[in-house]
């Protein structure tokens, strides 16, 4: 069973989106990557509508098991934080409407998972995402690489290599992503 994760690096001007399939042995393969852009000259409602429409399209087209979204963290620029939070809300609501679990990861968690250091810079993240996914060229802009890094991080942290049970002792400690993946795996086994 392969876990499909849609990663989102939220932002009003550039919202990175990446879809990654991760096998039980942690081998990750890029399915799709892109950036949704909006202009600061547009009204906030129109900018959020563009992001919402794009996310809806990606969710319908790629049918991920889970969404991994960068957790909003405090920055010095309040307007930037507000834009990221608004874009995140639109993305999370789109997943919730479809019953898709959402996991939030901090930038330092993503850096640590992908590079081994929570203080790595964007170039290091992009370089290792390119290597992990066996890409011929680095995903550009950085928002696209960050979205892929979020997807990889979530799959690896969710235990994509572990056998996950949906019932019995310990099943209550599963994350929503682990539970969704285990349920999808059980359904696939029953269909065989």
CATH code of the domain containing 110: 3.30.420.10
In a domain, 150, yes or no: yes
In a domain, 191, yes or no: no
Q: What is the pLDDT of residue 80?
A: 77
Average pLDDT, consecutive stretches of 10 residues, N- to C-terminus, the chain (192 residues): 95 96 94 96 96 98 96 72 91 96 93 87 92 95 94 84 35 47 60 63
In a domain, 42, yes or no: yes
In a domain, 51, yes or no: yes
Does the global pTM surpass 0.75? yes
Domain of residue 113 covers 3-162
| DSSP, res 25 | T
Alpha carbons 180 and 99: distance in angstroms, whole number: 10
Query: Which residues are known catalytic residues?
Result: 9, 70, 143
Alpha carbons 35 and 141: distance in angstroms, whole number: 8
In a domain, 174, yes or no: no
Q: What is the pLDDT of residue 184?
A: 59
Q: Which residues contact 40 (CB under 8 A, 6 or more apart)?
A: 12, 13
Output the CA–CA distances (angstroms, integers) from residue 44 to 18, 19, 39, 73, 113, in the order listed. 24, 26, 10, 21, 33
In a domain, 192, yes or no: no
Q: What is the pLDDT of residue 180?
A: 56
In a domain, 24, yes or no: yes
In a domain, 32, yes or no: yes
Q: How many domains is the chain built from? A: 1
Alpha carbons 72 and 16: distance in angstroms, whole number: 14
């Amino acid at each position: 069973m392969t876990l499909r994760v849609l990663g989102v690096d939220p932002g009003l001007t550039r919202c990175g989106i990446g879809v990654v399939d991760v096998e039980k042995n942690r081998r990750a393969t890029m399915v799709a990557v892109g950036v949704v852009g909006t202009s600061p000259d547009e009204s906030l409602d129109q900018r959020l509508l563009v992001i919402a429409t794009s996310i809806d399209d990606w969710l319908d087209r790629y049918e991920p098991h889970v969404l991994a979204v960068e957790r909003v963290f405090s920055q010095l620029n309040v307007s930037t934080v507000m834009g990221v939070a608004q874009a995140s809300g639109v993305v999370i609501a789109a997943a919730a409407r479809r019953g898709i679990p959402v996991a939030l990861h901090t930038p330092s968690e993503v850096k640590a998972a992908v590079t081994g250091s929570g203080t790595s810079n964007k170039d290091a993240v992009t370089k290792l995402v390119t290597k992990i996914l066996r890409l011929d060229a680095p995903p550009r802009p950085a928002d696209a690489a960050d979205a892929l890094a979020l997807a990889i991080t979530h799959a690896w942290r969710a235990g994509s290599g572990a056998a996950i049970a949906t019932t019995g002792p310990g099943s209550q400690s599963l994350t929503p992503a682990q539970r969704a993946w285990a349920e999808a795996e059980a359904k696939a086994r029953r269909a065989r």
